[in-house]
Structure 1
Amino acid sequence: MLNKLVKTSLFATFCLASFTYAEDRPILDITMHSEKCPESFYALPVLPQAKFCQQFSADLPASMSYHVNNDQQTAAQFYLEKMGQAQSQETLKGRIVLQYKNGNKIVIISADGNGSQIDILVKSNS
């Protein structure tokens, strides 16, 4: 359910980005930045050497996706070392899902080529 929610949310955001006004101005500008990714996102750490960061965070709930060259287990271990034991840790459809702060902070780690895609969802700061 969580995967479907995150993917649906990201898909809807990308779909909105493809629509334009009659004057060909984008409604929503989503661009890939080559800038350095942040070290943290709403107090959740970001793996070193993160790249292709996409933040959707004007207000909470907020999300960010990024890619690393680490495998899923190494990426999960990073979060477990930095954040402590997750309140919930499970593998759903090949993705590692870590939930913190009563499910208000969620990290989803998916295999992606030779590395991993990390999706962070922050529902609230509680």
Structure 2
Amino acid sequence: MKHVNTWTFSLCLALASAAGSACFADTLSVDSSLKAQINEKKNNQDATPSLSQPTIVSCPAEFQQVKISNDARQCQAFEKDTSAVMVYHSPRTPNEILGVYETAHPSLKSHSPVRGRTLLSSEDKTIRVIISPDNAGSQVDILVTSKTH
């Protein structure tokens, strides 16, 4: 009988050992897979530019026949068939930017500021310029819609 118990004990020990090794092997496989994924992600991040810094492109002098300040930075344009939008930053104060637009486009009507933002609009509302204070100057949003819209 002792022999059977020893054999049973040995079998259980062998099964436990095999199961433990299999679990250990799976853990190593998962760990190496995670390391590969982390390394791949790191390599992809190194290859792509940082998203925290905006891409600065040269801004046009005009957008849809609306003047752009000559010190405009970080211009972003969005255009569709019925409307077009340009957003940019200027180091000038909102009052200085307001002067730029009042000089360049005297037909635009200036509305009273709301929450620090000044709206300039054409009589037919196809052109709207919003001048907002920014930490280091002003943000200018230009919206041009078609007359048929």
Normalising by structure 1, report the TM-score.
0.69
- Across the aligned residues of Structure 1 and Structure 2, the Cα RMSD in angstroms comes to 1.7
What amino acid sits opposite 1:124 in the alignment?
Answer: S
> Which residue number corresponds to residue 79 of structure 1?
101
Unaligned runs of 5+ in 2: 1-53
What amino acid sits opposite 1:38 in the alignment?
Answer: P
Matches within 5 A, 1:1-126: 32-124=54-146
Identity of aligned residues (%): 32
Bigger relative contact order, structure 1 or 2, given CA contacts below 8 A and separation 6+?
Answer: 1
Give the strand-richer structure, 1 or 2: 1
What amino acid sits opposite 2:100 in the alignment?
Answer: F
Unaligned runs of 5+ in 1: 1-31
How many matched pairs?
95
Larger Rg: 2
**CA-CA distance at 1:36 after TM superposition:** 0.8
Q: Which digits, 9 at most, give the CA deviation of each residue in 1:13-44, with x for residues without a partner? A: xxxxxxxxxxxxxxxxxxx5422101111000
**CA-CA distance at 1:60 after TM superposition:** 2.5
Take 1:90 and 1:123, find their aligned partners in 2: how far apart are those partners?
22
Normalising by structure 2, report the TM-score.
0.59
